């Protein structure tokens, strides 16, 4: 027993201080929000849009990026003859509305952060939000990065956020994967088993838009084809810091650096305590 206590004292405090302190350092290979220097783009060039495997870049306006489709694969950057596309260290990618993942030229440099729930929902979920994770045909990358949040370094439970085993014990769902045909009914039944009001969080490009399986006969184009979505966290897979930042902004734990207000569906939903 004494050896265990001594080891614990030597290890000290392992849980990161974020969001009260600085975020953990990101690796050099981290790919955050893509940025396009449109001044460098040759007129009429569509090399980046043609190279994108998911159509995240608009062929008519390559300066417009759909973060919900982006795989952060760098195919566009490698195809650009002027090297006008780079991936920043900006990990704040989550959004409350699907349309706010469509980043136009004038908003590429802005900090895009998810707006918090309205006051009524923050009162309900701000201190205790239980989520049932549903892997709807995913490759387990997004699932793995979500599970990391439960480790001692991240300690998601310190914010009152927890993953639970049953949808009947949950306040909402965290969905990963493109929603394969075999998982569509399971996702709908799981959603129906969560009592109102409920929250749905789509994590990863697959859950948001279908990812590389967009339009595939055996997969839906994301969770929204089956259930309404309240928070979108893009990436392939999103970094655990991106997921945590989106969740904390959703419950109002982080409220700074929000440059625009996003629409919310929850204002019209009934209260848990009528």
The two three-digit tokens of residue 146, written as one number: 């979500």
Structure tokens at 163: 């993953």
Give, as one character, the DSSP assignment of residue 138. Answer: -
In the chain, the N- to C-terminal Cα span, in Å, equals 51
Residue 100 has pLDDT above 60, yes or no: yes
Alpha carbon distance 254, 267 (integer Å): 20
* DSSP string over 150-181: GSTTT-GGGGTEEE-S-GGG-SEEEEES--BH
Least confident of 172-176, 205-209, 224-228, 251-255: 251-255
Contact 116, 242 (CB under 8 A): no
47: three-class secondary structure by DSSP: helix
What is the residue-averaged pLDDT of the chain?
84
- Which position has the higher pLDDT, 120 or 56? 56
Could you tell me the pTM of the whole model? 0.85
Largest CA distance in the chain: 70
The pLDDT value given to residue 122: 73
The pair of three-digit structure tokens given for residue 240, joined into one six-digit string: 């655990």
Q: Is the pLDDT of residue 110 over 60?
A: no
Structural domains for the chain? 119-250 (3.40.50.12280)
Interval 138-156: pLDDT, tens = 899 999 999 999 998 899 9
Q: Please compute the mean of the pLDDT values over residues 243-249 and round it to a whole number.
A: 93
Residue with tokens 């780079």: 86
- Compute the average pLDDT of residues 33-50: 84
Element (H, E) at 133: strand 129-135
């Amino acid at each position: 027993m004494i050896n265990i206590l001594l080891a614990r004292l030597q290890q000290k405090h392992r849980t990161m201080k974020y969001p009260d302190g600085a975020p953990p350092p990101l690796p050099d290979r981290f790919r955050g929000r893509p940025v396009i220097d449109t001044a460098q783009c040759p007129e009429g060039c569509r090399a980046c849009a043609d190279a994108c495997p998911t159509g995240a870049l608009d062929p008519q306006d390559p300066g417009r990026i759909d973060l919900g489709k982006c795989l952060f694969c760098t195919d566009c950057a490698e195809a650009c003859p002027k090297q006008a596309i780079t991936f920043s260290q900006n990990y704040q990618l989550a959004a409350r509305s699907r349309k706010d993942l469509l980043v136009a030229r004038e908003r590429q440099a802005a900090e895009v952060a998810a707006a918090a729930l309205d006051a009524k929902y923050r009162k309900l979920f701000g201190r205790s939000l239980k989520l049932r994770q549903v892997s709807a045909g995913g490759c387990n990358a997004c699932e793995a990065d979500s599970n990391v949040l439960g480790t001692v370094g991240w300690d998601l439970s310190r914010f009152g956020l927890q993953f639970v085993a049953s949808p009947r014990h949950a306040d909402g769902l965290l969905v990963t994967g493109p929603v394969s045909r075999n998982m569509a009914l399971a996702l709908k039944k799981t959603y129906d088993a969560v009592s109102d009001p409920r929250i749905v969080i789509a994590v990863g490009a697959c859950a948001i838009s279908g990812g590389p399986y967009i339009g595939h006969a055996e997969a839906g184009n994301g969770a929204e084809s089956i259930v309404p979505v309240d928070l979108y966290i893009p990436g392939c897979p999103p970094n655990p810091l991106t997921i945590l930042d989106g969740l904390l902004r959703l419950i109002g734990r982080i409220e700074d650096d929000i440059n625009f207000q996003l629409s919310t569906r929850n204002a019209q939903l009934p209260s848990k305590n009528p």
